[in-house]
Amino acid sequence: MQAATHETRPIGGQKPGTSGLRKKTKVFMTPHYVENFIQSTFDAIGGASGKTFVIGGDGRYFNEEAIQVILRMAAANGAERCIVGMGGLLSTPAASNLIRVRGADGGLILSASHNPGGIDEDFGIKYNTANGGPAPESVTQAIFERTQSLTEYHIVETQDLDLGTIGHSTLGGMSVEVVHPVADYAALMSFLFDFDAIRQLFASGFTMSFDAMHAITGPYAHEILEAQLGAPAGTVVNGTPSPDFGGGHPDPNPVWAHELMNRMMGQDAPDFGAASDGDGDRNMIVGRGIYVTPSDSLAVLAANAHLAPGYADGLMGVARSMPTSRAADRVAEKLGIPAFETPTGWKFFGNLLDDGQATLCGEESAGTGSDHVREKDGLWAVLLWLNILAVRGQSVADILHDHWATYGRNYYSRHDYEGVNAGAAEAMIDDLRGRLDSLPGTEFGALRVIEADDFSYTDPVDGSVAAHQGIRIVLSQGARIVMRLSGTGTVGATLRVYLEKVEEDPTKFDRDPQEALSDVTDAAEAIAGIRAATGRDAPDVRT
Ligand code: VG1
Ligand code: CO
């Protein structure tokens, strides 16, 4: 077995976005595409020599092919060891955990997360650092720069390794360990949560439906919810990962997880419903007859986390991404702990978690997590909810109404305009950026603009600055509009418009969010001219 050096030329566009490099699968399948990106990654982190990496993906089309290439390249670049999930499978949070418990130098996660999979859909590669979290911008920028000057890559010429059996083998001097994808993760969960209490909850007849959306959380949910916690067989649906996610869109929100939504709003709805995404880091929470927005979920979890053993000592702080509703801030204020506002993307939480400044983090896009790993974690959020439900003995609806009665309700919605013309969308944001100073004082119906800015974040730990992270417009009545362009798409641009408004009157807690937010939506249109810029009458997706 010999390591060969191949000549190559830079490939344009290998720039990691909000969460790794995402492209159409066929783009990743073009000659040298994976090789160039992996070599650039190794070069950007000072080489792979002597290092240990964790490797796994969400099982989508091209997962195992990419892993075989990465293994051969890691060996040729002198890595000491690779730890791979059996079958090439690892959820994103489980990969993060493995990096940490094994003291690995980093990890490579193969996924395009909530994007559909298949030969005609999306694929992705993400590099995580030794803390288990997504590489910070300094690293992703170095990787991108390297892709632009790369002239060669190193690879061992050999046949594919068997990833289907747990155990040890070697590849060109590098040791390869195939591990069970669920074991370490399940152990961590049982340490954080009161499994006995949750077991009793299920034994008492509590019912649940968990939709794995044909993606990676199937094996995790079968093992933890059904085998270990005693939920009846059939609690987990769509639990076998498939390379194209059953032809679906593995994005747990009311639009893409409509099957689960219908079940939860129907006659014989179970007590509790949940879903996760392609790579297992997102979560959707639904009670019987009631949907919990991710922003509300973060706030409820922050207010109740102390009920779970892993968080019994309370929280150091709560962090949310900028577009996430400010419901969590209200909880932090009451708890007397700091609240942080970061740019979109989990990489921005890493320093706060490492430094012990934040314990819980969340994003409006259905991502919630804590300092137990350095990624958002779908099943973790579901288990924390279950722990809270077991201790409080109340329904999801009661817990949510209690929460609003204490803190007020932050009505919230995100409007996505997908696949719009990138130039027009950027021009709209640029134009708005140029007019921000003139907005304060302007009135839209009963709403008045209080302040408007282009969000810039200075990391409190390392002082790094991330500028131009989205437009924030704060209005009266606790209202806010945020606009930014997505960094995870693979076709055209996606404009995201985030709308929020606070309601303090308990008689108005049960309104339809779109209706409750209609004046904020109108103000966003009047301020930005969304219809004209996108050529659309309405958003493609409202969550
Ligand atoms: C989206 C979400 C963001 C999330 C990111 C990765 O990014 O808005 O909150 O962190 O996806 O999630 P963007 O740039 O498209 O808005 V995952 O589960 O796709 O890794
Ligand atoms: Co994801």
The predicted pLDDT at position 332 comes to 98
Q: Is the CB of 277 under 6 A from ligand 1?
A: yes
What is the per-residue pLDDT across 377-405, written as a single tens digit (0 to 9) for each?
A: 999 999 999 999 999 999 999 999 999 99
Specify whether 208 is located in the same domain as 338: yes
Specify whether 80 is located in the same domain as 21: yes
Task: Provide the mean pLDDT of the chain.
Answer: 96
Specify whether 191 is located in the same domain as 279: yes
Which sign, positive or negative, has the C-alpha torsion 531, 534, 536, 541? Answer: negative
Question: Is 2 strand, coil or helix?
Answer: coil
Q: Is the CB of 281 under 6 A from ligand 1?
A: yes
Nearest CA to ligand 1 atom 1: 488
Complex ipTM: 0.97
Nearest of 42, 119, 122 to residue 486 by alpha carbon: 122
**341 within 8 A of 180, measured Cβ to Cβ:** no
The single residue of 113, 276, 297, 486 carrying the catalytic annotation is 113
**In percent, how much of the chain has pLDDT > 90?**
96
The three-state (H, E, C) secondary structure of 288-319, written as one string? CCEEECHHHHHHHHHHHHHHCHHHCCCCCCEE
CA atoms within 13 A on the CB side of 366: 30
Question: Residues 194-221: what's their mean pLDDT?
Answer: 97
Specify whether 163 is located in the same domain as 40: yes
Question: Residues 484-501: what's their mean pLDDT?
Answer: 90
With 80 as the cut, is the pLDDT of residue 489 above it? no
The predicted pLDDT at position 372 comes to 98
With 80 as the cut, is the pLDDT of residue 229 above it? yes
Q: Is the CB of 367 under 6 A from ligand 1?
A: yes
With 70 as the cut, is the pLDDT of residue 1 above it? no
CA of 364 relative to ligand 1 center, distance in Å: 9
pLDDT: is 543 or 455 the higher one?
A: 455
CATH number at residue 538: 3.30.310.50
Burial code (b: 16+ CB inside 10 Å, e: under 16) for 442-477 equals bebeebebeebebbebebeeeeeebeebbbbbbbee
Specify whether 205 is located in the same domain as 330: yes
What ligand 1 atom has the least distance to the C-alpha of 277? 18
Which sign, positive or negative, has the C-alpha torsion 327, 330, 331, 333? Answer: positive
Specify whether 262 is located in the same domain as 360: yes
Q: Is the CB of 222 under 6 A from ligand 1?
A: no
Q: Is the CB of 18 under 6 A from ligand 1?
A: yes
The predicted pLDDT at position 454 comes to 96
Specify whether 159 is located in the same domain as 210: no
Mutate to test the pocket of ligand 1, among 365, 429, 482 (most ligand atoms within 8 A of CB): 365
CATH number at residue 121: 3.40.120.10
Q: Of the residues 379, 407, 435, which one is the last residue of a structural domain?
A: 407
CA of 374 relative to ligand 1 center, distance in Å: 15
The predicted pLDDT at position 19 comes to 85
Nearest of 527, 323, 324 to residue 428 by alpha carbon: 527
Q: Is the CB of 276 under 6 A from ligand 1?
A: no
Q: Of the residues 407, 435, 465, which one is the last residue of a structural domain?
A: 407
Specify whether 243 is located in the same domain as 292: yes
What is the per-residue pLDDT across 117-167, written as a single tens digit (0 to 9) for each?
A: 999 999 999 999 999 999 998 999 999 999 999 999 999 999 999 999 999
Nearest CA to ligand 1 atom 4: 345
Specify whether 28 is located in the same domain as 111: yes
Specify whether 387 is located in the same domain as 472: no
Specify whether 280 is located in the same domain as 258: yes
The predicted pLDDT at position 182 comes to 97
113 classed as catalytic: yes
What is the per-residue pLDDT across 286-307, written as a single tens digit (0 to 9) for each?
A: 999 999 999 999 999 999 999 9
Q: Of the residues 181, 205, 226, which one is the last residue of a structural domain?
A: 181
The predicted pLDDT at position 55 comes to 98
Question: Residues 206-219: what's their mean pLDDT?
Answer: 97
Domain count, the chain: 3
**Domain membership of residue 303 as a residue range:** 185-407
Specify whether 430 is located in the same domain as 521: yes
With 90 as the cut, is the pLDDT of residue 346 above it? yes
The predicted pLDDT at position 156 comes to 96
The predicted pLDDT at position 455 comes to 97
